[in-house]
Amino acid sequence: MGHIRRTLQNRRGDAFVFILILVFFILTLSAILIEYFRMESLYQQVEYVLQRGVNASVEYAVLDEYRRDGYARMDSDLAEKKLYEYLHESMELDSGLNKYAGEEWAYELEIERIDVTDTPPRLTLNGVLKTRSIFSFLTGDVRLPFSISSVNNRIQEGGS
Amino acid sequence: MKAAKDISADAGGAKQMNSKHRGIRGRNSPPLLFQKLLFSRKGSSYFDLMIKTLVVITLMATVMSFLSIFTTYLNLNHVCRRVVRVVELEGQVSDKAYDVFYRLKQQTGLSPEMTVEDVQYCDGQKIQLRNTFTVMMEYSHPFTIFTPSFAPPVQINIPMKVSITGMSEKYWKLSE
């Protein structure tokens, strides 16, 4: 008991402990910042690529025969089919919508809802981007929600 | 002290030295006032601060001049990204894309060279929906190291290259 008390009250080497705490604090702060910007960058990239896919699906599925008559109308099923085709072929997601960077798992898309309307030709994709951070052992997987929409109202021939 | 003055030096009496002999380096030492100034420590922290400030300002100027390189690279990246987006939306390297390119060149003050690579055109200059292409921009940034008043500035050219891949979002219904 006396030994523990003596060790606790002993001030020798306290500068070393202080430096250790400081280094730990700085490293943790740096890791948090780096992780935050990595997540932000990943989220923006995925959002950008998804927006492109949604735009392309709507563009492909707009019915030209209606456009000629001055109406904007879309084949909803075709748009949805093209979107999934884009997710698998262009974004290279697997059947469970997982993305791998080489052998390593990068993220997973969880699509919650796809709202498609024929007139006006609109496709809205709602879902969650699921990924991991180095703090996953504390917080679990990171879930970043997204909502991406594309509308095509142009009725001139060749428009998008 | 008065008693010692009357006794000769040989007899052990101390004689006051001439001021010329008192310097630490003997007869050839600098004049007393200059010597005093050299060895005086009064105001030394002021000079210390002045030198440190000069060093800090020089360092800051150096860092800021290096920042221009990063700014130029970021600008080049921005120009390339914008042009890629226009080509994506247009589905071709159209006049609109060149308009945006020239406008951004004027805005940023850069004059990069643009090339479109890895592209598969269909029916002229059209890029079919979901086909990819790469826009590459090259620029040589003249970095001025210093500008002497009697000679032209000393510069080094830093080559920069940015390439961004895009994907066409335009569906071209091609005639059979």
Q: Which residues contact A141 (CB under 8 A, 6 or more apart)?
A: A130, A131, A132
CB-closest option in B89, B130, B170 to A90: B130
The closest of A28, A69, A47, A71 to A131, measured between CA atoms, is A47
> Chain-wide mean pLDDT for chain B?
84
Residue pair A97/A87 in contact (Cβ under 8 Å)? The answer is: yes
Question: What average pLDDT score do residues B98-106 get?
Answer: 96
How does DSSP assign A30-74, residue by residue?
Answer: HHHHHHHHHHHHHHHHHHHHHHHHHHHHHHHHB-HHHHHTT---B
Helices B44-90 and B95-108: crossing angle in degrees, nearest 10, is 170
**Cβ–Cβ gap A56/B167 under 8 Å:** yes
Q: What is the pLDDT of residue A138?
A: 86
State how far the Cα of A153 lies from the Cα of B7, in Å rounded to an integer: 121
Distance from CA of A52 to the nearest CA of B (A): 7
Q: What is the pLDDT of residue B132?
A: 94
Residue pair A59/A152 in contact (Cβ under 8 Å)? The answer is: yes
**Cβ–Cβ gap A160/B88 under 8 Å:** no
- Three-class SS state of A121: coil
Residues B95, B81, A142: CA angle, nearest 5 degrees = 145
What are the chain A neighbours of B171 within 8 Å (beta carbons)? 56, 59-60, 160
Beta bridge partners, B136, equal: B115, B163
The proportion of chain B whose per-residue pLDDT surpasses 90, expressed as a percent, equals 56
Provide the token pair at B88.
Answer: 């994506």
Provide the token pair at B35.
Answer: 């010597």
Is residue B127 pLDDT above 90, yes or no?
yes
State how far the Cα of A76 lies from the Cα of A116, in Å rounded to an integer: 6
**Cβ–Cβ gap A55/B169 under 8 Å:** yes
Question: What average pLDDT score do residues B132-140 get?
Answer: 96
Residues A51, B73, B110: CA angle, nearest 5 degrees = 100
Amino acid sitting at position A95: S
B7-45 pLDDT per residue, tens: 554 555 555 555 555 555 555 666 777 888 778 888 888
Place of tokens 């592209």: B119
CB-closest option in B89, B167, B170 to A90: B167
CB-closest option in B130, B167, B169 to A160: B169
DSSP class of residue B31 equals P
CA dist B88 → A5, A85, B71, B107, B115 (Å): 71, 19, 26, 22, 15
Ordered mean pLDDT values, 10 residues apiece, chain A (160 residues): 82 88 96 94 95 93 82 91 94 94 93 93 95 88 94 64
Q: Which H helix or E strand runs over A16? A: helix A14-61
B51-92 pLDDT per residue, tens: 999 999 999 988 888 899 999 999 999 999 999 999 999 999
Q: Which residues contact A74 (CB under 8 A, 6 or more apart)?
A: A58, A61, A62, A63, A116, A117, A118, A119, A121, A122, A123, A152
B132-146 and B113-117 beta bridge pairing: antiparallel
